[in-house]
Each structure stands twice: as C-alpha cells, then as structure tokens.
C-alpha cells in the first residue's frame, strides 16, 4: 500500500503556494508588463533566476537565512517563535520563491499580448487602473492565469532539490511525495518507489492535460 501522507502533504503545500503566488504574482507581473522604469530589468532577472539556478543553491541560501544562527532566523525565533528551517512554513516560503517565475511569466506575457488600446479605452471611460485590471485585463488573459496556476501547482508538487535542502524528511511535516520516492529508492524499496512514481506521473500528466483543455475552451468562448 502507498502511504498517503506524503501525497496529502505535497498537495496541501501546492494549494497554499499557488494561492500565495496568485496574489503576489499579479502585481509583480502588472508592474513588469507596463512600467518604463529601468528597475524592470533587474526585477525581471531576479524573478526569472529560479528557472536557471540549481535548486540546491537556492536551498542552501534559504537554509542559511532560516537557521537560528543567522540574523534573520534568530530574529524570527526570538520575536515570533517561528523556526523556518526543517518546517512546513519554511517549505512554503521556499516553494513560493522557487515557483515564482512559473506564475509571473504567463501573466506578464498575457498582459503584454493585450492591445494597449484596451487599457486606454478603459481609462478614457474614466476607469481607474485597478478597475481596468480586474474587469478588463485579467478576464481577457484567463488562459494565461490558468496556465500560471497549473504550472505553479505542478511545479510545486514536482519540486525536490529545494525542499530536500531546507525541509529534510520529517514524516507529516516535510516529507513530500517526491522526497518519499527518493527515500524508498535509497532504501532499495523499488516496489514502493515505483508505485509512488507512477502515481505522481499520472497526476502530473492530468494536470498538464487540463491546461491544454481549458485553454482550448477559453479560446472558444471569446470568439463565440
């Protein structure tokens, strides 16, 4: 039998991370898409870094930062009694950083693909930037939003390096599905690892398939 706990933990993490990312990525993507500031290049690069950085590098720095021996980790421990290293909270923060480009990228590309006239038309009708964003821009990039949500979700489920570095392997706390598979392989339990692997494979397949199906449907509704 497969132990369901690592899977439940993986999905819980993915839900929380995707929710946080959606809230955080919309303002970042909006700013990156429309600003003329030169800081755009710097922030854009930082947001994209997790795509190219080895997970172990990000994990290493986060581990240092979260450690109660470091300034930041000590501050959290002393003032809020929060310990992020080897905890679920630490996993959430690390995963948000690591999956950020998967949410920001599609939303930014979606916003940039909209004709400038849509925004201008809304402004000329006296509508604020915020109203324009929520009533005009976001509804017209629904497929980008779905892509961002699904990619971030799937990427968080599939994450391994970062969570291993800063989460470790504590059952019920930081033992995610991907870690469980690695653990089984290390202990030569190929049967259990195989079952978990195929389950993760099928789940990921379904998720990506959903992206394509939903995107097709959105394309249909806008031209009808």
Q: How far apart are CA 167 and CA 164, in angstroms?
A: 5
**Hey, is 224 helix, strand or coil?**
coil
Q: What angle separates helix 39-52 from helix 5-34, to the nearest 10 degrees?
A: 160
Alpha carbons within 13 angstroms on the beta-carbon side of residue 12 total 15
Minimum Å gap between C-beta 109 and another protein is 18
Chain centroid offset of residue 161 CA: 15
Minimum Å gap between C-beta 38 and another protein is 18
Minimum Å gap between C-beta 112 and another protein is 16
User: How many other CB atoms are found less than 10 A from the CB of residue 46?
Assistant: 12
220 binds another protein (CB under 8 A): no
Structure tokens at 26: 């919309």
124 binds another protein (CB under 8 A): yes
223 binds another protein (CB under 8 A): yes
Minimum Å gap between C-beta 147 and another protein is 17
Query: Smaller CB distance to another protein: residue 11 or 218?
Result: 218
Query: Smaller CB distance to another protein: residue 71 or 115?
Result: 115
In this chain, which stretch among 43-51, 105-113, 134-142, 181-189 interacts with another protein, using CB under 8 A?
Answer: 134-142
Closest Cα partner for 101 from 47, 63, 27, 170? 47
Q: Which residues bind another protein (CB under 8 A)?
A: 115, 117-118, 120-128, 135-136, 139-140, 222-224
């Amino acid at each position: 039998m497969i132990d369901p706990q690592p899977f439940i933990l993986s999905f819980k993490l993915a839900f929380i991370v995707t929710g946080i990312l959606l809230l955080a990525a919309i303002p970042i993507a909006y700013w990156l898409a429309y600003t003329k500031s030169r800081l755009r290049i710097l922030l854009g690069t930082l947001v994209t870094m997790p795509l190219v950085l080895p997970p172990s590098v990000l994990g290493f720095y986060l581990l240092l930062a979260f450690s109660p021996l470091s300034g930041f980790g000590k501050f959290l421990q002393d003032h809020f009694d929060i310990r992020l290293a080897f905890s679920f909270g630490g996993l959430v923060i690390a995963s948000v950083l690591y999956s950020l480009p998967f949410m920001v990228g599609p939303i930014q590309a979606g916003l940039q693909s909209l004709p400038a006239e849509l925004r201008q038309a809304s402004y000329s009708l006296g509508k604020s930037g915020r109203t324009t964003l929520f009533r005009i821009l976001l509804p017209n990039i629904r497929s980008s939003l779905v892509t961002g949500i699904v990619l971030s979700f799937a990427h968080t489920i599939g994450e391994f390096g970062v969570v291993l570095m800063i989460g470790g392997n504590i059952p019920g706390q930081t033992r995610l599905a991907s870690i469980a598979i690695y653990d089984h392989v290390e202990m030569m339990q190929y049967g259990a690892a195989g079952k978990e692997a195929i389950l993760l494979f099928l789940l990921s397949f379904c998720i990506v398939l959903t992206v394509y199906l939903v995107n097709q449907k959105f394309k249909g509704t806008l031209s009808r």
